[in-house]
Amino acid sequence: MRIRRVGSSPQKPNDPVEQNYLLKRSGEVIKDPVYYKLNGVINGGKKVGYIQIKEFNSLVKSSVEHAIVDLKNQGANAFVLDLRGNPGGAFQSAVNIASYFMNDSLAVSVVDSSSESMPFRTSKQDSIIPSNIPIAIWTDKGTASASEVLVGALHDNCRAVVMGDTTFGKGIIQAVYGLQDGSGLVLTVAKYVTPKGTSIQGVGILPDILSKLPPNLPGLRSDTSSIDFENSLFSNPICY
């Protein structure tokens, strides 16, 4: 980049009017938030496709779709979505991912301070997992915000069984307004409500099965051997 000093002549001897500068640009690298693997046959003859979603960033939608398709091609006939420790991210991504599991269904409602409700529905034709394939969602106290939107969408539509611990309970939308003195004002403008009418904020989503899950550590977190997909909850999920 070339910078020119205001004025037509140098201010000091040998001081150029124009000077070239080399600026280095740096940007944050967006990491793939999805890890997946196929686990061997367990109870009931299920081949379990394990998918961990670490956050909802700009790569998550395509990464989850790739994981599902690849696991199905490998023979997966049951799935685990691991949302433990997922702090959230892009709200719309959660709705988009819910579309992979169910068509044209209410995913969440955004309710403002005037009690006006705006529904968000899944796509009419994006589902890539048949409705007879069982889904388990793993949650903990670190499952928050957009993650809770996805949990609530699949749970309340009887599409998944929630296992683990109660989620964090971050279900509000806030806006930041700049003030003249340089400070900011944060206002809550709306909240997330699940399809069955549960307000997520401060409460979280209770699991259907309160259970101890594998440690959320590399090499251990993907162990799905303890899940009993023959449990009646997977054929008749609790969705109220």
Segment holding 233, helix H or strand E: helix 232-235
Which of 145, 183, 222, 226 is catalytic? The answer is: 145
Which of 46, 54, 61, 170 is catalytic? The answer is: 170
**E-only strand ranges, the chain:** 2-4, 18-20, 34-42, 46-53, 78-82, 106-112, 117-121, 135-139, 161-164, 172-178, 184-193, 209-210
What letter would DSSP give residue 28?
P
Q: Are 108 and 93 a contacting pair, CB within 8 Å?
A: no
Spatial separation of the C-alpha atoms in residues 137 and 155, rounded to whole Å:
9
Spatial separation of the C-alpha atoms in residues 110 and 236, rounded to whole Å:
28
Give residues with Cβ within 8 angstroms of 27, minimum separation 6: none
Segment holding 73, helix H or strand E: helix 60-73
Instruction: Confirm whether 170 is a catalytic residue.
Output: yes
Spatial separation of the C-alpha atoms in residues 228 and 222, rounded to whole Å:
15
Tokens read off for 185 = 């004002």
How many CA within 13 A on the CB side of residue 18? 3
Spatial separation of the C-alpha atoms in residues 81 and 52, rounded to whole Å:
6
Catalytic residue numbers, as ranges: 145, 170
